[in-house]
Copies of this chain bind each other. A is one copy, B any other.
Amino acid sequence: MAKENLEEFAYRSIIRLILKNKFKPGDFLLEIELAETLKLSRTPVRHALGRLVGEGFLEKRKKKGCLISVPTSEDAKHVFFARENLEGLTATSAAMYATEDDIIELRTILEKEKKALVTYNKEDYSTTNEDFHLGIARMSRNIYLEKYCRNIFWRSNIYIFFFDNYYTQPTSIDEQYTPDQHIQIVDAIAEHDAEKAGELMRQHIHFTYAMLFTPWNVKKKAIRSTHSL
């Protein structure tokens, strides 16, 4: 990656802090406070916050600081509608342009994902999931779609993170189904079946969304009906 500036460092650190649950949604992130925590001056922190606001991770309130946009079901609907269609597009595009090496890379990711799942390694699982989705975004060979996908992926991750923590078991049921869906998507891309790849990806994201807002105790039932997708 880029030459780890202090700004870059601040940027990554702030994301890490949020993902490590150091801030609840609604908390204010203050330049001064963060600068002290990260042992930097306000300047790089300020740039990093500006970037995060620009990317839509944070909201800015006039003289109150930046805050994590409070998750609402309405916002989640928008996030996943956008993600479903954007990733559908990248999958379509990836199916058209993917090289042999790309397919190998994706299959390797799927292997790692499988391993992470059987060893109950949530951290690794989360990483491979990111590699999968953003990998396909990259393989679309369209830097604009890729950028938007990265953005909406991270935004949706905030939901997955918060809701997962509250509702799911050590291994959530959707995690048992996701790998199969991933495999089917890679197969479609390998066959260069653009339409199928796009459609499968849309269904996959839609499934993820549906599972997020389904209480655990009724998920089993819900999943049976999802088979008909």
Residues of A within 8 A of B (CB): 47, 50-51, 54-56, 78-79, 81-82, 85-86, 89, 93, 141-145, 147-148, 151-152, 155
Which of B50, B54, B78, B144 has a CB less than 8 Å from the CB of A79?
B144
Oligomer: number of copies: 2
Which residue of B has the minimal Cβ distance to A47?
A: B50
Which of B50, B56, B141, B147 has a CB less than 8 Å from the CB of A144?
B56
Q: How far is the CB of A1 from chain B (nearest CB, A)?
A: 14
Do the beta carbons of B47 and A144 come within 8 Å of each other? no
In the assembled complex, the Cα of A142 lies from the Cα of B76 at a distance in Å of 10
Do the beta carbons of A143 and B47 come within 8 Å of each other? no
Main secondary structure, interface of A, reads helix
In the assembled complex, the Cα of A37 lies from the Cα of B155 at a distance in Å of 38
7 cross-chain CB contacts under 8 A = A50-B51, A54-B55, A78-B143, A81-B93, A85-B89, A144-B151, A148-B151
In the assembled complex, the Cα of A56 lies from the Cα of B56 at a distance in Å of 15
In the assembled complex, the Cα of A141 lies from the Cα of B81 at a distance in Å of 11
Do the beta carbons of B155 and A82 come within 8 Å of each other? no
Which of B51, B82, B141 has a CB less than 8 Å from the CB of A54?
B51
Which of B54, B144, B145 has a CB less than 8 Å from the CB of A155?
B144
Knowing that A50-B50, A81-B145 touch, tell me 8 more A-B residue pairs with CB under 8 angstroms.
A47-B50, A54-B54, A54-B55, A78-B142, A82-B89, A85-B89, A86-B148, A144-B155
In the assembled complex, the Cα of A82 lies from the Cα of B141 at a distance in Å of 11
